[in-house]
Structure 1
Amino acid sequence: MRLPATVATERLTLDLILPDEAARMVAATPDGRDPRWHPDYPRQDDRDAASMVKGSDAGAGWGPRHVTRTFDGLVFGSIGFFGPPAPADDGVDEAEIGYGLVADARGRGVATEAVRALLAQADALGVRVRASVLPDNAASIRVLAKCGFTELRGANEDGELVMARPLRSPG
């Protein structure tokens, strides 16, 4: 089950974070900054996501990605799955998604657009998607609701709400 290395939307390009980029993101040194990156990118959450990139395969496309504005190539966030799908308790393949943007990119529908793009890819492969979100993160809860996450499974060990989106048929 592979996802494409690049997923494009009307306004965004979601490219897998490559191992060399991940190393620069994790190191967070000024000389490792890419000129295409927003001044506030990578955030700590982006660095944490980048630390999951191992080797050149990046989990067959199920790893973290840059969120890039198509019109100017500026990278201002990250999105991706926390690894390839695995069977859930009910036997359905499931993967967890995470995302985040620099502060001045929020509130413009970008997160919703990016999440929907990756959900379409998961749907095509018959993979159900879940997400974990802090209960006080109203903006992220709204994004998940707009994207069809309706099942509340309770809280995880970190106190985050675990939400799932019902499996959609491909197409």
Structure 2
Amino acid sequence: MKLDSIDIRILEILQQDAELQVAEVAQRVGLSTTPCWRRIQRLKESGVITRQVALLDAQKVNVGVTVFVAVRTSTHSQQWFETFKATVQAIPEVVEFYRMSGDVDYLLRVVVPDIAAYDRVYKRLIAGTELRDVSSSFAMEELKLTTALPLGYVG
């Protein structure tokens, strides 16, 4: 799908506040309400906008500790991967899960209230599959966190 400058502006606005009324978005991008609504619907239907969610304050919901977990494995079979993937996806504290290049095979971002809670997550993780190495790093301070994607590469 080809995006023009108005589509990009709509996306920038919605990434900051998806609760805005269509009329407000339309006013900000210089369109009337109906054409703006149609553009937003097209962005949803084409999969550019995948979903709209509420973002929560981690501290206020008692998961203010962020742990980055680097996983290395000696096994790379599809069956092993499916088991590992199912194990990780069943752990709600894992909020991001990536297959990596380089020295680390998988990287997880885990949110928990404290080290004891992370230990319970760790035990579930290692019980589910055979892993060669699991290395955990606790974030000391959050310096930047955004869900907004950069749109300067659209074109």
TM-score, with structure 2 as normaliser: 0.26
TM-score, with structure 1 as normaliser: 0.24
Higher strand proportion (structure 1 or 2): 1
- Which structure would you say has the larger RCO, counting Cα contacts within 8 Å and 6 or more residues apart? 2
Higher helix proportion (structure 1 or 2): 2
Bigger-Rg structure (1/2):
2
